[in-house]
Amino acid sequence: MSAVAERSELEEAPARTARRHRSSGEVVGSVELDGSWFSRRVNVPLLHQVVTAQLAARRSGTQSTRTRAEVRGGSRKPYRQKGTGNARQGSIRAPHYSGGGIALGPKPRSYEQRTPRKMIQQALRCALSDRAASGQVVVVDRWAFEAPKTKDALRFLEAAGCEGTVLLVLGREDEVAARSFANLPNVVSVPGDQLSAYDVLAADHVVFTDATLPGESVRVDAAPEKAPGASKAKSATKRAAAKVPAPAAGATEDVAGATEAGATEDVAGATEAGATEDVPGATEAGATEAEDVAGASEGAAEDVAPVEDPDAPGGVETSDEESN
């Protein structure tokens, strides 16, 4: 597949997620899987070729049969060549005799098939994409088993909803987890660097850890971690609230009425106090302004007083402003 075709395939492929658990089985969020590993188009002929090669490589090839030269006996001619009326025979260990050698039987050989490395990687990604599309990929943050216990392993499988054959992809440091699942016949554990397409296709669920999950994953919808005593404190608060008796309906109405009456009296008192304080202040301010106006009027009257004009006939009085 060319680089351009591979890039277009990844762009068109939908993003796939997987549930993320703790070793106790509690769900702590989800993980967005790497599209280059879990969003590939499934190539069935490629899977068939690679899986066939992987199964062939598992064969020991130690089968063997004996030829007429390897079986015991039969070195003497059973009877003479002519005169008996029977077909000529040279040994009783010929392939057509009972107890004779095997003609063209299997011999030890190697069944290994050469498969290109890129085909093996592509087949593994196709197998993982098929399981991710079916929602059969589970992620664990880490295996926190303190000691190897099959009971803890069963508790996790039940909480995570893993039914049928389960494939555990473990790290080299997960020895306690490997021993915890060792006694379960439906669980197969493999190291992360030895994962193959056949292992994935033979399992109903594939369980990874954060360390063994291939590609670059992104955690999404992470649930907040609860404090160790949060649940106990919450239950204690609920029990305390349940013991407090609820108030009667009549008492509730009396309290509401008393509250409304008190609020009304406070508002009325505040209004009267504010009005009383404002009225004296306004009266004093008005009186001061009236005195200022009266003083100004008297000063103006003095400035406009009439004076006698000696040149005017009959002694008519004129003001200073008219004379000017």
Averaged pLDDT, 289-312:
47
d(CA 5, CA 273): 86
User: Of residues 295 and 168, which shows the higher confidence score?
Assistant: 168
Residues 236-261: pLDDT tens digits? 555 665 555 555 545 445 544 544 55
Number of domains in the chain: 2
**263 and 204 in one domain?**
no
d(CA 91, CA 78): 6
Beta-strand ranges (E) seen in the chain are 17-21, 27-32, 137-140, 166-170, 187-191, 205-209, 218-220, 307-308, 317-318
Query: Of 220, 244, 271, which residue sits at a domain end?
Result: 220
**131 and 38 in one domain?**
yes
**275 and 153 in one domain?**
no
Query: Of 220, 244, 265, which residue sits at a domain end?
Result: 220
State the pLDDT at residue 241: 59
- The pairs formed by 42-49 with CB atoms below 8 angstroms and a separation of 24 or more are 42/126, 42/129, 42/130, 43/122, 43/123, 43/126, 46/119, 46/122, 46/123, 46/126, 47/123, 47/126, 47/127, 47/197, 47/201, 49/115, 49/119, 49/123
User: pLDDT band at 215, cuts 50/70/90?
Assistant: confident
- Average pLDDT score over the chain: 77
Averaged pLDDT, 65-74:
94
The answer to which of 59-73, 77-91, 110-124, 276-290 has the lowest mean pLDDT is 276-290
Residue 146 within any structural domain of the chain: yes
**49 and 171 in one domain?**
yes
**206 and 297 in one domain?**
no
d(CA 229, CA 239): 16
Q: Is a pLDDT exceeding 70 seen at residue 9? A: no
Residue 125 is part of a domain; what is its CATH number?
3.40.1370.10
**214 and 239 in one domain?**
no
Residue 245 domain boundaries: 234-307
CB-CB neighbours of 205 under 10 Å: 21
**247 and 190 in one domain?**
no
Q: Is a pLDDT exceeding 80 seen at residue 186? A: yes
Query: Of 220, 248, 263, which residue sits at a domain end?
Result: 220
User: Of residues 142 and 219, which shows the higher confidence score?
Assistant: 142
Residue 22 within any structural domain of the chain: yes
The answer to which of 24-33, 151-160, 286-295 has the lowest mean pLDDT is 286-295
d(CA 305, CA 316): 14
